[in-house]
């Protein structure tokens, strides 16, 4: 089972460039997790809403052209599901009007799965936004634990807006203490990993360097690979044992982020 997560930074823009079509055709993922879709279903083309091969779920922000998340599921895969439910809310979550969670729950055989596409807040707009970002982190962590402790297989993918360690950012000294590499954000990642969750790509590539998923477009940082690794798959331990591989698709254009692919043997 192939899963891909990608912050598209505007799904209509990446479709107009033809880059979303390239990814879907080349990779043919079973699940495609999308963040920062910046639009509503009513604004989207038939490719984005009536695809022949995919069921397409979206959670749009109330503010136009902002945030939002989505989740595509290959129809041949969803035909094997039982009791599939699409959710857009996590209890007590701040920023609930920003469309940050697209979550599919389903049964495959006797096992219940929860697949969550999440666009975590940046938190840099104001002191309140910063506090809400930390609250959002803790809320998601608690919900992940709740699902795992209920015996579910849990996969969380998305733009988590934090580089965990110095190895995950091109210029750690210059960015130490700044949004995205702040001690409080990094401490959240410490707690999540310490709680038994796996940062899939890093767990499979513990010593890999100069691998990033986001580059600033204004400074053309991608040309120089001055980036941040802020897009992740997190899984529970039972799910991690079934992972075959994971790779950042850094040749994929269309956004200031690149996709992350994960193959899972179910």
Residues designated as active site: 159
- Which among 140, 139, 185 has a CA at the least distance from the CA of 161? 185
What whole-number distance in Å separates Cα of residue 62 and Cα of residue 157? 22
Could you give the C-alpha distances from 146 to 35, 91, 135, 141, 153, in angstroms and in order?
23, 11, 16, 9, 11
* Spatial CA neighbour of 69 closest among 185, 199, 159, 162: 159
β-strands 198-199, 2-7 pairing: unpaired
Give the C-alpha separation, 145 to 46, whole Å.
37
Tally Cβ neighbours within 10 Å of residue 202. Answer: 20
Distance CA 208, CA 26 (A): 25
């Amino acid at each position: 089972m192939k899963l891909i997560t990608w912050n598209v930074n505007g799904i209509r823009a990446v479709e107009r460039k033809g880059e979303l079509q390239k990814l879907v055709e080349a990779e043919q993922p079973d699940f495609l997790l999308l963040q920062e879709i910046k639009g509503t279903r009513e604004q989207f083309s038939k490719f984005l809403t009536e695809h022949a091969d995919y069921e397409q779920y979206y959670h749009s922000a109330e503010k136009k052209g902002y945030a939002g998340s989505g989740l595509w599921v290959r129809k041949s895969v969803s035909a094997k599901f039982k009791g599939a439910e699409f959710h857009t809310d996590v209890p007590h979550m701040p920023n609930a009007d920003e469309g940050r969670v697209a979550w599919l729950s389903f049964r495959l055989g006797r096992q219940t799965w929860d697949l969550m596409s999440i666009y975590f807040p940046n938190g840099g707009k104001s002191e309140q936004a910063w506090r809400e970002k930390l609250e959002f982190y803790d809320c998601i962590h608690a919900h992940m634990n709740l699902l795992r402790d209920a015996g579910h297989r849990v996969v969380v993918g998305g733009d988590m807006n934090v580089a965990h360690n110095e190895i995950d950012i091109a210029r750690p000294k210059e960015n130490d203490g700044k949004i995205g590499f702040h001690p409080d954000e990094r401490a959240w990642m410490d707690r999540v990993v310490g709680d038994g969750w796996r940062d899939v790509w890093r767990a499979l590539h513990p010593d890999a360097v100069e691998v990033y998923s986001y580059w600033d477009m204004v400074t053309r940082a991608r040309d120089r690979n001055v980036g941040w690794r802020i897009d992740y798959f997190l899984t529970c331990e039972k799910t991690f044992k079934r992972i075959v591989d994971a790779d950042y698709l850094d040749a994929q254009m269309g956004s200031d982020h690149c996709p992350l692919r994960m193959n899972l043997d179910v």
